[in-house]
Amino acid sequence: MIRQYELVEKIKSYDPDADEDMINRAYVFAMKAHGAQKRASGDPYFSHPVEVAYKLTQFKLDTASIVTALLHDVVEDTEVSLDDIEASFGREIRGLVDGVTKLSRLEGKSENLKQAENFRKLLIAMSEDLRVLLVKLADRLHNMETLGHIKSPEKRQRIARETVEIYAALAERIGMRHVKEELQELAFKELYPEARESIIKRLDYLREQGAAELEKTKAIIEEKLHEAGLANAQIIGREKKPFSIWKKMEGKNTSFEQLTDIVAFRIVVGDIAECYQALGAIHAQWHTIPGRFKDYISTPKSNGYQSLHTAILGPGQQRIEIQIRTEAMDEIAEYGLAAHWAYKQSGHPLKDGKQFRWIRELLEILDKSSNPEEFLENTKLEMYQDQVFCFTPKGDILAFPRGATPVDFAYGVHSGVGDTCVGAKINGRIVPLRTKLKNGDQVEIITSKTQTPSPTWERFVVTGKARSEIRKYVRTQQRTEYIALGRAILTKTFKQENEDFSEKMIEPHLPHFGKKEVDDLLADVGEGLLSRQQVTDVVIGQKKPQNNSGVGSVISNFTNPFRKKKSAAGAPMPIKGLIPGMALYFAGCCHPIPGDRIVGIVTTGKGVTIHTMECETLENYADAPERWIDVAWERDHMEGGHIARLRAHVSHEPAALATVTNVIAKENGNISNLKIINRSTDFFEILLDIEVRDLRHLGNIIAGLRSKEVVQNVERYQT
C-alpha cells in the first residue's frame, strides 16, 4: 500500500503548490473512517482509496481531486456523512465526493435500475465538474484490477460488461486512450478469456517471427524522414491491444490473419507543419492504400484527439498503418482531458462540464427519457466509438456514430430541426431519410412547420439523442390520445347518468384520485388505469356495483393510439391478461386477428406487442421469458376490421386479379393494401392485406380463393 509521505511526494513533484496539509488530513480521515474494513481480497479496505489517489497522480491532477479519491468511499461505506466532509474539507470537496458516491437506498431494485440510477447521478455530477469522472475512472480501474477476488461469476460478468459499455466509452469520450484500453483489457479477460488467450498467443508468435522485420521497417522509415529534414522525429512501434483486435474481427467478420493494422508506427514531430512534411515524405516513398487517409488535425475528434492517419504498402509490400502527430497531440491522445492545457490553468475551467457538446447531449437525453433505464439505453447508443464526420451547409463539422442517418444529423443540429425534418440532401442530392451517412458528407435538412416526428424513425436512427426525442414525442402523442379518449368515455358515461360532463365537475375531486390536473385523470381513464365507474361513483355519487372481475374490465377502455381496433359499437377491442396501463401494439410481422393463439411481449419503453404463437419473431425472445405475457382475446368473435396478410400465386392471364378481388368482396373482406412482389411469364406473386372480423372469416376467404383455377396457392404470410 502507498505510504502517506510517498503520496504527498508524488503530488509535490508536479505541483509544488499542492495543499500538503489537506492531503495529509484526508489520508488520516479516510484511514480512521474505514478502520478494520476488509476488501474481498482480504486487504485493508483503505488500500483501495489510496491506490485510486495514486492513479490520479499519474494524470497530475490537483489537490481537490486527490483528496476526493481518498474520501470517495467513506460516505457510502462508513458512518461519515456529507456534512462531516464539508465541515472538515469544505464545500468543493463535499460536492466532488457526493458526485462519486453511489446512490443509497436502492435495495430491492433490479441491477439494471441500480446501474441506470447511479449513472444518471454520475452524469449530473460530472456536468458540474469533470473531475468527478476522472476520479470515477481511476476508481473503476482499480476495482477491475482486483475483480478476480469477487466470488460470484455473475457479478464479475456484470461489472466487466458495465465497464466496457459505460466507463471505457466515457474514457474514450474524454480522450484517455490509456485508461480506456486498460479497462477494456481487464474486462476482456473476464468476459471472453478463451478469445483473449487465443489472440495473445498469435501476437506472441508474430513478435517472434516479425521482430527483425519490424526493426528493419522502422529503420527505413527513419532514414526517409532524415532525408526529408526531420532528423528529430521519433518513431515508435505500436501494437494493437487484444480487445481492439477482437472487436475489429467481430465488427468486420474477418480473421486474425486478414487484419492489416495489428502493428502500426507512430511518428512524433515538433509542430503541425512537420506533421504534414512527414506525411509528404512517407507518401512520396510508398504507395498509399486508398480510403485509409484521415486528417484528424484539421478535423479533430470530439474528444480533442488530433493526428494524421495513413496506410501504405511499405517495404516488402507489407501494409503498414502510420500515425503522425506532435508531442502535445501525443500526450492528449494518451491522457485526454487530464493532459489538456486548460486543466493546468488556475480556476479549473473544466469544472463546467456542460461546455462539452457530448455532455450537453447526454443531459438532453436525460431530460427526454421517461425512466433511468431508457436513459441508460440511449446513452449507450450515444457513446459509440466509431464515428463519421459530416458538414452542415455552413461548413460546421458534426460527429456521429457510424451508421447514422439524416434524421440523426437533424437532431444533432437541434431538436427542433429533427422534429420538423421532411427530407434531406447529401452532397446536393435528395436521399431517403434512412440513408447512412459517410465521412465528409455535406448534409442539408429540409424542414416543414407542419411536420412531426414519425414513430417509424426509431427503427433506423442510431443516436441516443434522436431516439429519446422521438420517444418523447410518441409519449406526448399517446398522452394526448389518452386524454381525448378519457374525455369521450366520461362524456358518454355522464350522459347515461343524465349529467352533462364538464371539467369543473371533476376539479374538486382530484385530490381523491391523487391528481393535480384534470388531464392527468382523463389520461388514466383513457389508458385504462382508472375505470369510468370509479369516477362517476365519486363525482356523481351514485354507487353502483363495479365489475372487478379482472384485467379485462380495466383494459376494456384501452385503445392503441397508433393502430385502433374497435367493434361495430365503437368500443375498443379488449385483450385479457394485460398489465393495466401498458400501451398495446399488434405485431406487423404476423398480423394477429381474433381466433389466433396469441402471446404478449413486453418491450422496454413501448408497452406490449401482441404476436401469434406461431410467429417466427418469438425466437428472438426465447432467452427472455420474463418478457412474455399470457394473453387471450376477450371474445372468440369480434366485429370490426383486423388486418391479416396473405400471399398468393396467381396465373398471369386476363381478369385473374379481378377474380381475386371479387372473391374477397363476396366474402365481405376489404383489401387495404395489395403489392405485386414477384412476376414471371406464367405467374405473379402478390401480397394482400385484408380487413377481416376474425380467423373464421379469414378461413372463408382463403377457401374461396383456393377454389378458383387462376389461384395456384394462397397462405397467410409472415414478414
Q: Could you list the active site residues?
A: 76-77
Helix residue ranges, H only, 346-451: 357-368, 372-382, 406-413, 415-419
3 state SS of 612: strand
Which residues, at least 6 apart from 265, have a Cβ–Cβ distance to it below 8 Å?
217, 218, 221, 235, 236, 237, 238, 320, 321, 322, 323
CA distance 40 to 292: 47
425-432, long-range: CB within 8 Å, 24+ apart, which pairs?
431/406
Question: Of the candidates 129, 128, 139, 178, which has an alpha carbon nearest to the alpha carbon of residue 162?
Answer: 139
| Phi, psi dihedral angles at 611 (to 5 degrees) | -120, 160
- DSSP letter for each residue of 239-276: EPPHHHHHHHHHHHT--GGG-S-SEEEEEEESSHHHHH
Quick check: 418 and 469 in contact, CB under 8 A? yes
Instruction: Region of 665 please: left (phi>0), alpha (psi -120 to 50) or beta.
Output: alpha
Amino acid residing at 451: Q
Nearest-5° Cα angle at 322, 321 to 325: 150
Q: Check residue 338 and report its DSSP letter.
A: G
CA distance 554 to 538: 17
From edge to edge, which strands make up the β-sheet containing 683-692?
Answer: 670-679, 683-692, 642-651, 711-716
What are the Cα distances from residue 69, in Å, to 51, 158, 559? 9, 24, 53
Quick check: 243 and 199 in contact, CB under 8 A? no
CA distance 29 to 27: 6
What are the Cα distances from residue 424, in Å, to 427, 453, 461, 539? 10, 14, 14, 52
Residue 389 C-alpha cell reads as: 464526420
Amino acid residing at 426: I
What angle separates helix 464-496 from helix 357-368, to the nearest 10 degrees?
A: 20
Residue 159 C-alpha cell reads as: 461489472
Beta bridge partners of 266: 236, 323
Residue 464 C-alpha cell reads as: 441516443
- DSSP letter for each residue of 655-680: THHHHHHHHHHHTT-EEEEEEEEEE-
CA distance 451 to 271: 49
Burial 337-348 (b: 16+ CB within 10 A, else e): bbbbeebeeeeb
Which residues, at least 6 apart from 102, have a Cβ–Cβ distance to it below 8 Å?
76, 118, 121
Nearest-5° Cα angle at 150, 147 to 151: 140
What are the Cα distances from residue 702, in Å, to 21, 480, 650, 707? 87, 39, 13, 9
Residue 461 C-alpha cell reads as: 436512427
Question: Of the candidates 101, 106, 100, 53, which has an alpha carbon nearest to the alpha carbon of residue 76?
Answer: 101
Residue 377 C-alpha cell reads as: 439505453
